Structure 1
Amino acid sequence: MTNASLRNQLIAAFVGLAVVPLLLAGVLLGWHIYSVHLSDAYARQKMLAQNVAEQVTNFLGRFELALEEASTLSNFVALDTIEQRRVMERLLAKQPPFREVWLWDDAGRERIHLSKYRLPHAAGYRDVTIENLFHETLKSGHSQFGPIYYDPTNSEPMLDMAMPLKDQRSGKTVGVLGAQLRVKAIWSLVSSVKTEKGELVYILDTKQRIIAHRNPSVVLREIRASLRPDQRQVGLDGEEVFVATHPVQLGQQTYTVVVERAVSVTRIPALTGVKIVGIVMVLALGVALAIFYAAMRRIVAPIREIASTARAIRDGNLERQVAVSRKDEIGDLASSFNSMTVKLRSTLLDLESEIQERKQKEFELHKINKAYIALSMSNRAVILARDEMELFREICRIVIEECGYRLSWIGLAENDEEKTVRPVAQAGFEDGYLETLHLTWADTERGRGPTGTAIRERRAIINQDIHNNPAFAPWREQALKRGYASSAAFPLITGDQVWGALMVYSAAPSAFIEEEVRLLFELANNIAFGVAALHAEKERRHAAEVLRQERDFIGAVLNTAGTIIVVMNRHGHIVRFNRTAELLTGYRFDEVADQPFWENFLLPEEKAAVKGVFDNLAQGQMVARHENYWQMRDGSRRLFDWSNAVLRDKAGSINYIVSIGVDITERKRAEDALRELNASLEQRVREQTEENLLKERLLLQQSRHAAMGEMVSMIAHQWRQPLNSLAILLANIRDAFEFGELDKHGMNDFHDFGNRLIQRMSKTIDDFRNFFQPKLPDEFDVAREIRDTASLVEPSLRNNNIALEIQCEEGVQALGSANELGQVVLNLIVNAKEACLERKVAVPRVTIKLLRQDGTASITVEDNAGGISPEIAERVFDPYFTTKSMGTGIGLYMSRIIIERHMGGNISFTNTGSGACFTLNFPLVPPPESKK
């Protein structure tokens, strides 16, 4: 476009837009300006009415907000009646327009009623208006306003408002909080409205009554206004006025703001405006013609330059500047245009950098989140795994599917001559890669890669660039063929032994960030822990099988022995009768069980003598051997040579007498045959004793494995809360990122908090691992061992709302294995916990006390679960006796073995008034003076 064409367009525009309109305006604008001015005046009235309506709505909304704040900020619903009354008193005092406040429950009963000027309604009082307002509020679930009414005492207009109270948990409406508001408070609002001459503002209710007016007497006289929909009508003073209205909706009530302005006053500025417009039109036309040609020359060129620069910027040339240096508006426009271009260029560069940085942080956070998910799923895999291979395959699958890596595999470090690393499980894209590795963990060329170094140096090895890392040279070609760009190796460590490694490969270089590496190392530790747990479970099952075989073996020995074996209680009643006794006597065990042995078997002439021997045995006077006849079921007699032994309880009292009878009826054996028989019998007793000792060792091992199972369950309980906290932490990080609130400081806080949770979970593992480390017998602090053991189960007790009370006398030293004593205390605490849970005790409690009594330490573990029934109490220390569906029946039996045989003490049981109490007594370490 040329200067001439632009100039011609400006001239044409001037003629068409200035000269012709001004001439036409000279004819038409007189009437038009008059009409427009009147319309503008009426529009101002409408706007004034709307503003007043909004002010009234906001004014009343403040009181609605005051009710809402009183009910929410103080958690009003959850307070008791006294606290609710205090909140309402503060509300009444803080809001002068409030005359009364009241509280109704959802059944329509008035709970609280407070008033500034008169006593509250008597109990049972129901005002019809308030009751209707209550039902409307309860039904709608929203705040409601009642109709205007006048106080009969002073004719002052009043207004009721109510708000529903909702339970924050269920969302259910549980009551209504209301207030009586003095409409007089709106009068000052109406009076403060700035009006022009001839204007009047007032408010009507639904009955056309004036409830707010600059003159209060108009309101008090309850004057009604009859409004018509016309703009011009007769006003309150009888003069013709323009009337503008605007509705105010409060709940179900509609009020009307009215603005009147006298017609005579409104016409004055309209007529004046017509005159002024005529004069201005004439002057404007002359001035426009004068300055048009002067301005046109200064406009065309700069505009063309600005337009050209704009097109260049549109095409992407942000270096282009407008070459205009004039000091006027066009110059300012050009300068602003140039500044805008510079800022736009700088902003685009900053945005590109920020977007790139944000994408990188988002990528890292996404990887960490996936690593946390993989770590959590690995915990579940450890719990559910049935064997090592299943665990290895599941962990590799989790790493691939949850973390998005290309390959994951697990290798075992062999202790052969070449120190081979043998892959045993993998997931992802492998394509024969593992067959090409030929790895070793020896300090050789093929052992200095990530896998061998991680096993040898017991640390994570991160290879961020396979293509350029010289240590990866032996495997680089095969790795790059399969799309591996970076890798990480994590050693698998159990105790002091490194037995394998977890390898992870990524398709991207520099794929492993610091936090993700730490989480993957934790995942590798989970694998090691899971394998250790599987080994422990395997050993426990083996021990259980050995114990079962031992039990079957002992039963078979008793039933196949060639001698009569009879076990009697201290009253002479038969409690055990072996198979040989049944065959020789002709009596079945169920026929003679719980009967005195002399009733069926002794000859009348020998009964007194044999009973005398039995009485001596029952009183602790050992009778090595004696002979007497027994009478068989068929009436025959057989002579038996009896050997006797007694079984005592922990208090030393005799409970049972064991008699072994050899049939010597046919003939007396020769003396040498008798010696041989005695020697053989002695050898068998010795072998039986050794077998019993082996059995006790196996039972102790099984008891330790059972305790280990309890520990695994407790670990799961202690980890649940940190894991939930970690899930919440991740959600907070995501929310903060999505809302743009995630800065470096916030990220550090999230990171520190997550680290503390993970360190807390790691400390849990260390505490339980230290508990099971074997320790040689030595002096130890009994009180410390009790507290250390209790600390392991205290989270589980707290999780089940069971109180644990420990009262320990300090300075109590004992000789033995601290871990074995801890195992006994742990078993008693777990039994007490399970009893409280099984019997659903309202306020469960476990109490542990340690006292020093005459050179003896006494530990009591007492619960309030109701005690143990007498029929069960007699057998609580028997091996394999249990009342639990999943119990082994060896916990209390091994506790007795540990206390009696390993610590030289005894264990006893009593029922207290509220529960069961187990007491451990064992010798103390003598003071230094006694040792000397």
Structure 2
Amino acid sequence: MDDNCLNILIVEDNPGDLRLVREFLGESSAPVFKTAHAGRLCEALETLAKGSFDVVLLDLDLPDSSGLGALEKISAAKAEIPVIVLTGQSDETLGFEALRKSAGDYLVKGQINTHLLTRSIRYAIERRKKEKELGVLNRALKAHSDSSQAMLRATGEAEYLEKVCRIIMEYCGHSMVWVGFAENDKNKAIRPVAQAGFEDGYLKTLNVTWADTGLGRGPTGTAIRTGKPGGCRNMLTDPAFAPWRAEALKRGYASSLALPLKADGGTFGALTIYSRKTDAFSERETALLVEIADDLAFGTMAIRLRLEREKVDEILRRDNETFEKQVRERSRELLYAQQELEKAKRLSDIGTLAAIVAHELRNPLAAISMAASNIRRKAGNPLLDRNLDNIDKKVTESNRIISNLLFYSRIRMPQFDTVDISAILEECVDVAESASSLKVPVRMDLGISKNTLIKADPLQMKEVFSNILNNAFDAVSSRPRGKIQVRAAENGGFINIRVEDTGVGIDKETLGKIFEPFFTTKAKGTGLGLYVCQQIINLHGGAITVESEPGKGTVFSVNLPRGPENGEKKNTDH
């Protein structure tokens, strides 16, 4: 604003009053008044939106507004522009109400002259300036108070710095605030550690230092190097700000203030504030912001000291407990290692024995099966079929037990391949339904696409889901309306498969042992099936869990990772 040339918007619908006001203003030589006119409130609002004005002279009786409504609407649209009410009504009550609603002055048309009108305009402008400055100072004081509270509540340095930046930005109304720490490397770089406000990648473009070079003579580098506040009143014209001008103007910044953060006789960083207005920082606001920066430096050091003290206290506490803890842990480790060694040896012996027994049993079973087949073919006697069917059934059951024993004796690393998990699930369901004597249809509810691919060993996947499905069929065998449902869904980088049945359920004690080798509740089971399933899923980097409630049913949940995203097949032999 040029104090010697002021732009005035006259909102007046009476041509005679308009001419008189313009005559009064035209008689003034200092300042010179440039006037624009609006005859209606709506025209005034449009003109204010398009132009730049220092004062509005407002008649309260307009074709589209009467009373103080026009004052309220103009003040709401342009709060920074003072409004002087001009009216023919000599009503002190109305005048006081206008002043209460932020009018700059209240003048009666028949009682004004050039001197009175000029003085009223100057006073209104100066009063609005002081009100604005007072508002800025009040917000700065509030920011100072809240930043002090932030130091008391902060649990960490980064949280504290971010909080203070946000307080300054929000209360003081500036565009962006950031904190940078001085590095003691060869380039004397300044590392941004916290910021708030509209930044849009600006800090990444800075490449600012605190060395006495072109990139170190800006506000932030100068503040750190000299230990004194520095600033840029106008980024468009200040030659020292040239290295950062283009990026700053692109984001709407116009001026800045940089305040040193000092401790122990040196400067360790700077608090830099950016504004969208040129020459935005008054002397009084700067003084308050310097106090905030000093508090920020003190608070940062206090937090560091507190954290170091807590760290030392924690080390001392741990040292006092270390010896006893190490002894206890070592004892537990030795005991656990001994138990695992005994368990491994026992399982290895059992595995070897299982392989031998399975091999020895498979040959006579094959002979029995062949003999039954020959009898059926040669005899052709329907009376024998029932007995022969029973022989076939028992041979099949025995072979299944032998297969479990053999599988347990040589659990191997998975041979990973890209497999369609939905196709495997459908195949396992078909096989389980065909093998079961129960007429229990399995409901498939796959929340995944038909071609959902994962990295897995296809044979081992079939082993796992066939085993779980067979258990589900066994569980519903004694339930007249038993149901089995298979669900699948994606969960992050995993595929979750759930096999749910409404069978007899499992009690809590049995549930805790269900994955232990050789634990079974079946008269003809080996107790190896679920143990093997767990080993396979673990080798695939997944997890298997079970939930059950007696009388209501059981849910087995398998989580399998999708595997590498490159889609290449990967076979591994160990």
TM-score, normalised to structure 1, is 0.24
Asked which structure has the greater CA Rg, the reply is: 1
- Normalised by the size of structure 2, how large is the TM-score? 0.38
Question: Structure with the greater relative contact order (CA < 8 A, sep ≥ 6): 1 or 2?
Answer: 2
